[in-house]
Structure formats: structure tokens, C-alpha cells
Structure 1
Amino acid sequence: MLFENKEVFCMLFPESIRTLVCSDFDETYFAHDRNHAQDVKALTTYLNKERHMLFGIVSASTLDMIKGCLDEMKMEYPHFIACNSGTELYYYKDGVEIYDQAYELMMLRQGFTKMTILDVEKALAAHDIQLMVQEPFIHAPFSRNYYYRETTPQEDERRFRQIRAAAEEQRLIVNISKCNPLIGDPADCYDVDFFPASAGKDAVVRYLIGKYDIDFDETYAFGDSGNDIKMLNAVKHGYLVSNATAEAKKRHLKHADFPYNKGILSILEARSESNGY
């Protein structure tokens, strides 16, 4: 669909696609406190010169949250946005927003409905595992996001096993990661995100690699927290930016030397130099 009633600037869509670059949004692509505008501009300038690189945001945030921030910061829209934990996929080309219906069909063919997740929520509550709904995501069509308030490490791990077992029984993926207070999450909670088995941040990566027939050696991803790890492992070159959470750094050993966009740009520029671009 066309953007209405406002001027929207998009990155130049690549002429042909040889390289895939995926980035988490909050605390990776941009700083939550909005204080790295020049680094955003530097990365955008680089990407607009790279005419064979497909770049996009893969995030747990809703589309409205991401677009609202891009508009507020006067950022150019990337080539694609995969929102709601990678369950919806949109492309941006010449000011036009294009929804990927084929990606949605992958989930619908599984017979997935939102009631599947709600049934899991009820089953866990019956075992005294209370999950708090994250209200900004409540209308997401293919995912549901919760907070789990931590207790003791032993009790939490026992309950996490129950949560994972309940999700697996319903053919759902569940991602459990420590909340990041820097993006407004409560400090004493975990994110618990449910979505269909065919979706998720790593699924978006695999889908795009297949859709555009991209060589695996030319795949990159960047993140800052535990819910990015699967995405980082789904590419050849997966990096945490230097401001990543301590939990994430324990789970993934490849780190950029710089934070946010500067970390992304440093890795991509090194790639260009090594390839003689």
C-alpha cells in the first residue's frame, strides 16, 4: 500500500541482491535514548551506496512502534521490516509498503490460530505459572508476548522447562530471555514470546535467503539480547553489538567492537575492505 499524508524516505532498494544483512531494532539499530543519530546516518549512507545488499530490521516490536520511531528520528526506512518477532514481513521500495503474503501463508498452512497461544497461557496458569501480557503487542496476529517475574534461579528454571514443554506440545516456538531495562522493560522479569514454529527471527533469515537465492557466506545479522541469538546463528556472520546484554554475550561469542549502528557499520566496512570493494 502507498504511504498517505506524509513524505517518507526509503533506502534505495538494491538493483540485484547478493548480500543479506538483518538487524534487531531497539538497542541494536538505534539507541533507545535516541542519542546516536549521526551513527544511524553513517550506516544509511553506506547502505545506499551498496547496490547489492538487502538490509532490514528483524524485531519483536510491532510495525507501528518501529515506524513511529523511524519517523520521529527522521530515519530512512530500510529495505524490509520483519516485526512482531518475525511473524510479519514488509518491504519498502520507492515509498511503497509491500506485505509478503507468501510468508504469512507458511504460518497459515500449519493451522495456526491465536487461540493456540491462549490455550497455552491458560494451561500454564493452571500450574501456577503466571504470565503477564505485554499490552503493546496484544493485537499481533501471529505472536504473543509476556513478562515472567523472576523468583529463584532453581524455581525459574523449573518453570521455564514447563513453559517450553507446553509450547512444544502445541507446535509453538517460545523464546525466553532476560528483560533489558534500557528499552523500558522491568528489571526483574524475563520476556516470554510465543509464535508459530515456522516463524521467528531465524525463520525470517532462512526465508529471505531462499527467496533471493543468497549465498550463505554473504549473510549477516546483528543483535543485542538473548532473543537475537537464534537469528545470529542462522547466518554465516552473526554479531552482538558491543552494548549487548551480559546474558547475550555469554551465549554468543562474536562481538562487534562498537555499539549500535557503529558496530554494524564497522563489520560491514571490514567486509567491503576484505572483498576489495
Structure 2
Amino acid sequence: MTSKDTWLIVSDFDETFMPVLSSREADAGIDKLESCLNQLKRKHHLLFGWATGNSQAVVLDKMKRYPEFPWDFALTSLGTELYWNHPDSVLEDEGWPLQGAGTFPERVMRLSTLFEQEGIELTLQSEAFQQKRIRGYYLNADGNEAIAIEQIHRLCLQVGLEASITYASAAAGDPENVYDVAIMHPGCGKKQGVDFIVKKHEISPARVISFGDSCNDIEMLKACSHGYLVGNASHEARQAFDRVVEGFYCHGIVDGLQRHF
């Protein structure tokens, strides 16, 4: 079997793979997806993993409840870090990101100064979203955000950084009526990380399947040959992308996989 026979299956984590509310977890179909992937892996060569805004520590902590789940990689902190699951350890891919990130903290400090000078008011997100190549903020959706969004992109470009700005998902634990502002090392992101994995493993683009639920998944879903929103996807995500499976959470992932296997 050649690398071109490999399938790549990518899922967002919160509210796609696993509910944020633990009370919903038992009905999310995680065990069903585990069984499905184990069956598929007996017949096909495939890689399964997540592209998520969560940190690596958060993902690994949540997956302690599913020690036998057959995952292969975790593209964490909104695609700024990539980890591979080995039998005895989880190791970071030293080849990602493609550009060195040694000056990221200094650039963020310069950017913060520029934000203050321009009067851009952002709210810092929790510590989990302040990682080595990303800083997370919220921007109020007050009807005047278009000007601030343009300013943020312009100032990021000025200091050699990039911004991913999408409407936040209250279902995933974000506040209501805000934008999720991720200041990132250039060249990173969910889509960009998936592209790196595809190239690294010489996977045919026609064999890439992705799943998401919110606006920060849309770029990745549109770039994949087979991208799907799960049935519990947000209203805003559905307005931006219309390929939706019926099932919620992992039930939806299984629904999508059954279209191809």
C-alpha cells in the first residue's frame, strides 16, 4: 500500500468531537466513532486526528477518559502546534511550523503597544489560549467591529504576525456576541496544518475528510475535498458552509465517514 492510498480524517475537538458540557458527553458517540475507526483501520491505511483551538495539554487531559481511542495526531492551539501519537509518547513535530517562531513573544509585545496606540480594545482569553505561538483575545461585536478587524489585520502585518478573526461559538464556551481573535505565528492555522500533513505523508487531496462545527473550521472545510459540518453546528457556520451531516458530534463524523467507506 502506497502513501497515496492513505486517508486523512481531521476533526475539530470541542463541539465536533466532544461536547463542552460533560453532561452531553455520554451521548456524543465517541465510543461509536472509536469502533468505526478501528474497523476502518483494519481495511485501510488512515490517519485520524484533531485540528483544534485547544492546547495540547487540554486535549491530552480530556482523552485520558478514552485511553484506547485510535488517534494519530493533534494539531493544537489553532494549528500552531502539531503532535504525533506514538505507542509510548506524544511528540511534537519539529518540522511545524515551516518558519521559525523564535521572535513570536517580542512581536506580540510590539503588537500590543500598537493596539493601545490605535485604541483597539480586546479582552484577553483564558490561559489555555495563550500558548507559545498564539495569543487569544475577544473583540466585541458591537456593530463597529469592521474597522477594528481591518486595523488588527493591518497591524499584525506590520509586525510580521497573522490574525484569525471569526465569530465566536457560545456552545464552545465563548461569550455571546464576540469575535474570537487569534494572533498567530505566520503561516499557521487549521487549514495550513492540514496542508502540511497532506504534503508530509503524500496524501491525495481526494482522500482528505474533515469535520467541524463553528466558524473557525470553515477555511479548513472549504479547502478539503470532503468537508462537513456536524449536525449540531452553529447557525453562523451553517450560513458560511452548507454541507452538513445529520448526526451530532461523533455520530455526525460517523455519518460522514459512511459516505466514503
TM-score by length of 1: 0.85
Aligned to 2:258, what secondary structure does the other structure show? helix
* Equivalent in the alignment of 1:189: 178
CA offset at residue 209 of structure 1? 0.5
* Equivalent in the alignment of 1:128: 119
The CA distance in 1 between the partners of 2:180 and 2:82, in whole Å, is 22
Once the two structures are superposed, the pairs formed by residues 1-277 of structure 1 within 5 Å of their partners are 18-34=6-22, 35-37=24-26, 39-51=29-41, 52-72=45-65, 76=69, 78-104=71-97, 106-108=98-100, 112-137=103-128, 139-151=130-142, 153=143, 155-272=144-261
Aligned to 2:79, what secondary structure does the other structure show? coil
Q: For residues 15 and 65 of structure 1, do their structure 2 counterparts lie closer, same or farther at Cα, with a shift above 3 Å needed?
A: farther
Using CA pairs below 8 Å that are at least 6 residues apart, which structure has the higher relative contact order? 2
The CA distance in 1 between the partners of 2:37 and 2:81, in whole Å, is 23
1:45-78, CA deviations, whole angstroms, 9 ceiling, x for partnerless residues? 1112222110001111111111111124656261
The CA distance in 2 between the partners of 1:271 and 1:245, in whole Å, is 24
The CA distance in 1 between the partners of 2:2 and 2:254, in whole Å, is 21
CA offset at residue 232 of structure 1? 1.0
What is the RMSD computed on CA atoms of the aligned residues? Answer: 2.1
Question: What count of residue pairs does the alignment treat as equivalent?
Answer: 255
Instruction: Check the 8 A contact 1:114/1:143 in 2, yes or no.
Output: no
- Structure 1 runs (4+) greater than 3 angstroms displaced: 14-17, 72-75
Q: For residues 72 and 44 of structure 1, do their structure 2 counterparts lie closer, same or farther at Cα, with a shift above 3 Å needed?
A: closer
Compare 60-69 and 161-170 and name the one that shifted more: 161-170
Unaligned runs of 5+ in 2: none
Instruction: Check the 8 A contact 2:122/2:138 in 1, yes or no.
Output: yes
Residue identity over aligned pairs, in percent, reads: 27
1:136-156, CA deviations, whole angstroms, 9 ceiling, x for partnerless residues? 2365111111111222x2x11
Compare 165-174 and 184-193 and name the one that shifted more: 165-174
The CA distance in 1 between the partners of 2:165 and 2:50, in whole Å, is 20
Counterpart of 1:50, as a letter, is L
TM-score by length of 2: 0.90
Counterpart of 1:65, as a letter, is V
Compare 178-187 and 210-219 and name the one that shifted more: 178-187
Aligned to 1:44, what secondary structure does the other structure show? helix
1:225-274, CA deviations, whole angstroms, 9 ceiling, x for partnerless residues? 111111112211111111111111111121112211111111101211xx
Unaligned runs of 5+ in 1: 1-13, 273-277
Instruction: Check the 8 A contact 1:176/1:191 in 2, yes or no.
Output: yes
